[in-house]
Chain A
């Protein structure tokens, strides 16, 4: 009982903090409309609710009690990829992307399903259980070994091509790994759910590369999800609880850096955690994308780069949460080009959003697909062997779309080109 009361108190203090923060930002918005110019979804939805300015007006009206919960209000917030172009465009330094992600906690009332999912994501056992269920469901499906096509009669995600889910093999279940560089940093490596349960090649490459430069790599097996999905579903309390566990673990281990391989986990850690609670600031400052850490120590990578035995053509997609969320954009490109066998070619629109957006991918499939089709067109035009990108969510969406088009380009993480 006491635990529940604490949780309720926790939830309401998170909400009131979010409210304060949002109100401050709302005061800065002069509704000039500049955010209309680069919005990912506006050209498809063609209505003001799809703009940052419109959504801020909705939050404002909601806080003032002028409007109430509704399905449309919820959709207005869910039909956003949180790409952050509005934040980049705003001349007044409003951060609509940040405001809109935390505002979901105000305007979306999580239903029983969302609460349930959030609960599963909040505990390691829940994550394992979810992964196991997904694995069993996907095992029934033929297609390739690594990618599965969900039958079209399944609601929401039917017709999508998704990665096969696997429990991490024994070699990835250690709690710590020793690095080869005794003077190197001690790090906590947070693989994130996708890499933990599907993209094990990324996990292996990351451990290999980190071993070259680190003294110790901690991979605690008891951490929950980063909290972004819970926040997207409007459950800020759950997101805060997940953040507390992760940040406490990292601080207790007293590591030099918390390394992520997923831009979305990374931007949640670096940018959103301090918005949820200033107490997470200390943790947030330790967070690094793996490409940042590797480029810092690039001299240790030299000569060790993976040998492909042939020239490979590579393009790079800037994931929104990595580029605009974390502010990381030059390091991954540098990392890719460290491999002398890589022939690097820039996409026409390398930082255009792919349309994944988490809830968007699940609940608004046709919108997400419409957006990714522009990305696919750009990739097909350049036709690289590999598309490198730093967020497994985008990877799943883009690879799925490429496969369904019959394209041979394969999506990988930049670190897989090196280690």
Chain B
């Protein structure tokens, strides 16, 4: 077997304990948070950039797949070894190499946990805004590979907006350094942007230089309940119309509230159909003004109840509710298709109405929550894998949702990436020409197609 030869060579080249072919490791690196499972041939734990390049060179020589993996918390199957090969984990590349307070930069290895970076920079009065819900356990490398979003994206943008420079290993084993440490820089193509969100299909990120901001002085958290989805969506528009751009503006529907209640014991008003969770940050005077404008906007859409968190603990309680939604949907049904469709903000009411229509047309269970402020709604179709008929209906519902989203001028994936989960739908959004040009780029970086094969591009079009 060609894989055995590659593994034997790696065992010779790498220091002891870097590679495992034991079934204990192969099983535990067969999945991510999507529930898809495929066993890799081996798992590799490089500790340095040099080791990463050696792994890639050997993989290239023997033409076997390399699947970069951070914490395996992705929601699109990005780190699932669908074509076996080597899962290369960044769990031993976890150094924060530098925090530059003058240039407002952090230089990190890919395995740094996002929440740890948050704590490290905040201790110095600095701020790294991207905050995916899994920030306590996901890694920066994974965030970059998937271009992770998060709750604060409304005001602060997504991971791409904070990556200044990257070092990455290419499949042939050479290391490339792209981007600049400065605010400005226009030398040639923007390879950083190509790498961000490339889902491990172009190269292996070994180091990232990230942009930081000064840490906002204070923040306010407001919760508002509404008797209908539409009035909640209108309140979002009302806030923006008042020229306020809050840090976060989250939408949570009734089904999700019920799951949170089940998971945490938190109580919500009986007649609430939707909850908006809003946070703004900045200087105290500014935040006060935006709080009153936000409350005015909420009241004018007849919010049932408006609640401002008095202190950090009360705010944390509200945010905890938000964070447990995704996994707690298992209370409704054991499996879910967690979509991360995104539409222009003003189309939100149309999207929400369309989702209701799709759910009833295909007779599927559905729960929605997400980042209303940036038009990114997590529509979850809930089902039981063992019910074949339901699985089929959910698949049709997902396809219908994708079509609606593109018609509304939106995108089929706002922050999870395509991976395995959405590769069949990518054509709906970018068409065959889009796929073709992306494949040409892929080819330029990875001529043998060893980097994370089986992702992004639909099988039917892949040679």
A residues near B (Cβ < 8 Å) are 27-28, 30-34, 36-37, 46-49, 51, 54, 57-58, 61, 66-67, 70, 72-73, 76, 91-93
- Asked if B327 and A91 make an inter-chain contact with CB atoms under 8 angstroms apart, the answer reads yes
How many angstroms between the C-alpha atoms of A341 and B69 in the bound complex? 54
Residues of B close to A92: CB separation below 8 A: 263, 327-328, 330
Is A31's CB under 8 angstroms from B35's CB? yes
* Cβ-closest chain A residue relative to B29: A48
> A31-B33, A31-B35, A91-B263 known; A36 and B28 CB under 8 Å?
no
Q: In the complex, what distance in Å separates the CA atom of A325 from the CA atom of B27?
A: 28
A27 to B35, CA, bound (A): 11
A48 to B31, CA, bound (A): 10
Could you say which of A37, A47, A54, A66 contacts B137, with CB atoms under 8 Å apart?
A37
Assess A72 versus B91: contact at CB under 8 Å? Given A30-B35, A31-B31, A33-B73: no
The CA of A137 and the CA of B35, in the complex, are separated in Å by 52
Minimal beta-carbon separation of B285 from chain A (angstroms) = 35
In the complex, whether B23 has a CB less than 8 A from a CB of chain A is: yes
Query: Given A47-B91, A70-B24, A92-B328, A32–B30 Cβ distance below 8 Å?
Result: no
The CA of A66 and the CA of B30, in the complex, are separated in Å by 13
In the complex, what distance in Å separates the CA atom of A27 from the CA atom of B23? 22
**Residues A31 and B328 in contact, CB atoms below 8 Å apart:** no
- Which interface residue of B263, B324, B328, B330 has the most chain A CB atoms within 10 A? B330
- In angstroms, Cα B327 to Cα A92, docked, is 6
Q: A33-B33, A33-B137 are in contact. Are A66 and B334 (CB under 8 A)?
A: no
Contact partners of A28 in chain B: CB under 8 A: 330, 334
What is the CA–CA distance of A57 and B89 in the complex, to the nearest angstrom?
18
Q: How far is the CB of B76 from chain A (nearest CB, A)?
A: 14
Partner of A47, one of B89, B263, B334: B89
Output the residue of B43, B137, B263 with the most chain A CB within 10 A.
Answer: B137
Q: A47-B43, A49-B28, A92-B263 are in contact. List 19 more A-B contacts (CB 8 A).
A: A28-B334, A31-B33, A32-B134, A33-B72, A33-B138, A37-B115, A47-B28, A47-B91, A48-B25, A48-B28, A48-B29, A48-B89, A48-B91, A57-B27, A58-B28, A70-B22, A70-B23, A72-B22, A72-B24
Q: Of all chain A residues, which has the CB nearest B27? A: A61
* 13 interchain pairs, CB-CB under 8 A: A30-B35, A33-B72, A33-B73, A37-B137, A46-B92, A47-B28, A47-B45, A48-B89, A57-B31, A58-B27, A66-B23, A67-B27, A91-B324
Quick check: is B172 within 8 A (CB to CB) of the other chain?
no
Distance from A170 Cβ to chain B, minimum over Cβ atoms (Å): 51
Within 8 A of A (CB), among B100-153: 115, 134, 136-138
- Residues of A within 8 Å of B134, CB to CB, are 32-34
Work out how many contacts link A and B, with CB atoms closer than 8 A: 89
Say if the beta carbon of B71 comes within 8 Å of chain A: yes
| B32 at the A interface (CB under 8 A) | yes
Contacts of B53 in A (CB 8 A): none
Q: Determine the chain B residues whose CB is within 8 A of the CB of A76 once the complex forms.
A: 24
Contact with A along B327-353 (1 / 0, CB 8 A): 110100010000000000000000000
User: Within the assembled complex, what's the spacing in Å between the Cα atoms of A57 and B138?
Assistant: 19
Interface residues in B10-50 by Cβ distance below 8 A to A read: 22-25, 27-33, 35, 43, 45
Would B24 and A49 count as touching, CB distance under 8 A? yes
User: What chain B residues lie within 8 Å of A57 (beta carbons)?
Assistant: 27-28, 30-31
Q: Give bound CA distance, A105 to B433, whole Å.
A: 56
B23 near A91 with CB under 8 A, answer no
For A58, the closest partner residue in chain B by CB is B27
Smallest beta-carbon distance B369→chain A, Å: 14
Closest to B70 in A: A33
- Interchain CB contact under 8 A, A93 and B24: no
- The one of A48, A58, A70, A93 in contact with B72, judged by C-beta atoms closer than 8 angstroms, is A48
- In the complex, whether B242 has a CB less than 8 A from a CB of chain A is no
Closest to B36 in A: A31
Cβ contacts under 8 Å, B138 to chain A = 33
Choose from A30, A48, A58, A66 the contact partner of B327 (Cβ within 8 Å): A30
Task: State whether B30 touches A91 (Cβ < 8 A).
Answer: no
Q: A27 to B263, Cβ gap below 8 A?
A: no
Q: How far is the CB of A136 from chain B (nearest CB, A)?
A: 39
Contact of B24 among A36, A37, A51, A73 (CB under 8 A): A73
Residue B290 is within 8 A (CB to CB) of chain A in the complex: no
Minimum C-beta distance from B110 to chain A (A): 13
Produce 1/0 per residue, B244-283, CB < 8 A to A: 0000000000000000000100000000000000000000
Let me know if A67 and B31 touch, CB within 8 A: no
Closest residue of chain A to B24 (Cβ to Cβ) is: A72
Neighbouring A residues of B27 by C-beta, 8 Å: 54, 57-58, 61, 66-67
Question: Measured between alpha carbons, how far is A91 from B73 in the docked complex, in Å?
Answer: 14
Q: How far is the CA of A48 from the CA of B79 in the complex (A)?
A: 13
Residues on A with C-beta less than 8 A from B326 are 32, 91
Whether B9 is near chain A, meaning CB under 8 Å from some CB there, is: no
Nearest residue (CB) in B for A48 is B28
- B323 adjacent to chain A (CB < 8 Å): yes
- Give A28's nearest chain B residue, CB to CB: B330
On chain B, the residues within 8 Å of A27 by CB distance are 334
Query: In the complex, what distance in Å separates the CA atom of A93 from the CA atom of B329?
Result: 12
Q: With CB as the reference atom, state the residue of chain A lying closest to B331.
A: A92
Q: In the bound complex, how far is the Cα of B23 from the Cα of A36, in angstroms?
A: 21
Which residues, 69 to 94 on B, are CB-close (under 8 Å) to A? Answer: 71-73, 89, 91-92, 94
Q: Look across to chain A and name the residue whose beta carbon is closest to the beta carbon of B111.
A: A46
Contact B22 A54 (CB under 8 A): no
Q: In whole Å, how far is B315's beta carbon from the nearest beta carbon of chain A?
A: 19
A residues in contact with B30, CB < 8 Å: 57
A58 to B28, CA, bound (A): 7
Chain A residues, CB < 8 A from B136: 34, 37
Expressed in whole angstroms, the Cα–Cα distance for A31 and B27 within the complex equals: 13
Shortest CB–CB separation between residue B217 and chain A, in angstroms? 26
Residues of B431-445 at the interface with A, using a CB-CB cut-off of 8 Å, are none
Residue among A33, A57, A92 with most chain B CB within 10 A: A33
Distance (whole angstroms) from the CB of B228 to the closest CB of chain A: 28
**Alpha-carbon distance between A31 and B45 when the two chains are bound, in angstroms:** 21
Tell me which residues across on chain A come within 8 A of B29, comparing CB atoms. Answer: 48
A370 to B287, CA, bound (A): 45
Chain A residue nearest in CB terms to B92: A46
